[in-house]
Amino acid sequence: MSLAERKRQLVADELTEAALQLLALKGFDAVTVDEIVGAAGVSKRTFFRYFASKEDVVVQFLADMGTGMCAELAARPAGERPSEALRHAVWVPLGECADHSERALRVVRLILGTPALLARFLERQAQWRDDLAAELARREGRDAAAEMYPRLAAGMALNAFDTVLHRWSGSEGKEDPAGLTDQAFTVIAPALDAGVLRG
């Protein structure tokens, strides 16, 4: 990264952090762009150089979650069981939540409790499913367009992710996301690994 790119990334990160904190604290509808730029110490013009709206801040946060999952799946050892590879991939954003539990809990509850943001979250998950399915097909030597397995397996992994996220946020962060993830994948691992979805 060049110095200019690093500076841009730093500004984007500061804006994202300020926006997510305010949105989670006050609620999506109660926060203005003026408040976000005030908290971040930048101009309104700078904000709109990075984001089209306050909703876009959350959408970018979600996009980063999906990129992390796909990158982790691609990095898993060749020959690893699909259930293990997918569990590790799904754990990337859940682990981030666990590492920053107070902030992450507020952001997750904001997304799940704001209809416009929840709609974007579900829209993003559809893209993640396609990306994970393509990567899984590549790993397993399957045809993502012709076979049902990659898409169904990616869908199951994301259902596990979604279930864990809801359980964790519903418990006010008291339940352990790692334990919940293990429980979820214990349920779906036999279908992921036994080849019952082949075809």
Do 91 and 163 fall within a single domain?
yes
Residue type at position 64: D
Do 44 and 77 fall within a single domain?
no
pLDDT in tens, 152-184: 999 999 999 999 999 999 998 899 999 999 999
Report how far apart, in Å, the C-alpha atoms of 142 and of each of 90, 145, 146, 189 are. Answer: 21, 9, 8, 19
- Provide the pLDDT confidence category of residue 32 given band limits of 50, 70 and 90: very high
51 CB-contact burial (10 Å; exposed 0-12 / middle 13-18 / buried 19+): buried
Region 19-32: what's the mean pLDDT?
Answer: 87
Do 71 and 165 fall within a single domain?
yes
CATH number, domain with residue 4: 1.10.10.60
Is the pLDDT at 199 greater than 50? The verdict is no
- Are the C-beta atoms of 94 and 68 separated by less than 8 Å? no
Give the C-alpha separation, 58 to 63, whole Å: 9
pTM (whole model) above 0.85:
no
Do 47 and 121 fall within a single domain?
no
pLDDT in tens, 90-116: 999 888 888 877 778 888 888 888 888
Percent of the chain exceeding pLDDT 90 equals: 45
Residue 152 lies in a domain: yes
Residue 88 lies in a domain: yes
Residue 68 lies in a domain: yes
Give me the long-range contacts of 91-96 (CB less than 8 A, separation at least 24). Answer: 91/178, 91/181, 92/65, 92/68, 93/65, 93/68, 93/69, 93/161, 94/161, 94/164, 94/165, 94/168, 94/177, 94/178, 94/181, 95/177, 95/178, 96/65, 96/68
Measured at the CA of 95, the angle between CA 89 and CA 100, to 5 degrees, comes to: 150
CATH number, domain with residue 126: 1.10.357.10
pLDDT at 24: 81
Region 46-64: what's the mean pLDDT?
Answer: 84
Q: Which pair of structure tokens corresponds to residue 145?
A: 């367009």
Domain with 66 in it:
55-193
Is the pLDDT at 198 greater than 60? The verdict is no
- Are the C-beta atoms of 98 and 105 separated by less than 8 Å? no
Residue 38 lies in a domain: yes
pLDDT at 5: 83
Is the pLDDT at 83 greater than 80? The verdict is yes
Q: Is 68 helix (H, G, I), strand (E, B) or coil?
A: helix
Is the pLDDT at 43 greater than 80? The verdict is yes
What DSSP character marks residue 143? -
pLDDT at 195: 63
Total domains, the chain: 2
